[in-house]
Chains A and B, each alone.
Chain A
Amino acid sequence: MNSVAIPQTQAGNSPLRRFSNLLYRRPNLYLSMLLVPPLLWFGAIYLGSLLMLLWQGFYTFDDFTMAVTPDLTLANFAALFQPSNFDIIVRTLSMAIVVSIASAVVAFPIAYYMARYTTGKTKAFFYIAVMTPMWASYIVKAYAWTLLLAKGGVAQWFVQHLGLEPVLQFVLGTPGVGGSTLSTSHLGRFMVFVYIWLPFMILPIQASLERLPPSLLQASADLGAKPRQTFMQVILPLSIPGIAAGSIFTFSLTLGDFIVPQLVGPPGYFVGSMVYAQQGAIGNMPMAAAFTLVPIVLIAIYLSIVKRLGAFDAL
């Protein structure tokens, strides 16, 4: 008894030991010690900054002196609804929606094949093959597309050698889609967005299909459904949460982007490029702050919609 007690009392006397005993007896103290550094960082730096930004949205920008004064006004937010600014919002929003839909269409077969027809090594291969482009440098991917779409670049070479030039000219001639060349067209910009955000769509769909119990498909077949019917009435509805989860990324990332619109596509501001221009060249931080409210509000609305589709369970 004695021989056991000695090391314990020694250990009990060491400050470190007493400290860990204290933490064990007071789990709340332990918890708050763990939480204080990250909370301080995020509370002070991140949330503080967001509030500061929002607050500055109410400041006044003087057009003549180009100076910002802390007189509170709603003029910046009202200016968002001026036709020129509203156009920017509509342009960005419609691109985000179209990109999300197209990503889902392109991603679905990949995710479906991954989830249902691959096992073991092939599945691991698909995982890595989707994950590497997702993590590969964003700016380099955008750069790669400027090379691809450039005059005399890869895309043009393929179009020429496949004899598709008339088709390309026709598509580029379509108003609202085209432009003078691929790299200055809406179509080009759209392709780059779909490419860059595609992996963010594949993985949630794949995860939701992976959770689909095979017995459901067997039951559907037993009840006489043709493969197409099983797909339309069982598989597709059950993959909606995954599609919705993926679309959160494609939607939100497109809304805030200002690098791709700058590199590819016709002139004309996106919300992101407007924010950038307002704070940078013009120095109108209040207007920039008001503009950042646009993606925040749109994303909040979007999240409340996809929440009903079960997107959060599929994240």
Chain B
Amino acid sequence: MSTETATPEREERGFVDRLRASPFLTELLSNRLAIFGLSLILLITVMGVGTRLAVFVGVLDFGQLLDTQFAQQQYYPPCGDATLTGWLSSLGSCQHFFGTDAQRRDVFLRTMYGAWLALKYGTVTVAASTVLGVGLGTVAAYYGGWIDNVIMRTMDVLLSFPSLLLALAVVAVFGTGLWKAVFALTLVYTPRFARVVRGAALKVLEDEYVEATVALGARDWRVIVRHVLPNSLAPITVQSTLNFGLAIIDLAALSFLGFGATAGTPSWGWMLTKGVENGLINGLWWMSFFPGLFLALTVLGFNLLGDGMRDALDPRMQDAVD
């Protein structure tokens, strides 16, 4: 390729410059809701990674999170007081900040660790479906014809199934467990990425410069890696962000129904199930309240950020009304 003389470094700098000047970022950063969402995500990430590191370094004993040596119904309310006012007034001198569950495990620590699990399994789900979706979408866009048709119409049919029910069907065939739940959800989410990537890739391929490159005989993979992928990055990122929250909810839902996390795992979904089962009706609210709260906050964070990104991306929405 004689037309491409740019060295890697120069391309790198060009990319950063473009990013700095991009209307996408300016637009996004001026969106207060999106910034709020981003802060939520950062907070949860610090929580999760921090707790994981604490366990790794040895400050926190992982066994303490799983320990079941105490008999059933040996719970301890947040700061020793089950009422909300009592909790707020005794925040200063507090033993179990969020109380303990029925096995007397500290809800605060388990919730913190739950953030790590949610991020971990959420990342794997989203990353796997992104990779699959990028693969299928690019192939569909690049080769066109019946390949495109078969891939994309299949994705359409998969998309028309309700996500939780499709995931349940996959679980019914392949069995239960957190990793199988991740597998099921990857299947559910892949079509969304394939569709977005194909759309973006088609736009790139229409570009005159890229057309010329192809006409000059560039290899398929080279065109895809150098031109199609970098230019599809923004829509892929938006789609990942939006689906991250959904993935975390769906994973928790599968755990809640008993098909995901197994007994004892400090995952938010499982803590919710157990917390509801073990005493919500008797007023032991803290066991399920806190994991649920952090789950909802995380998902809200991703949805707010994703929404903001989409608005920043889609120029049609900006001049909606005068």
| Interaction A to B | no
B residues engaging A (CB < 8 A)?
none
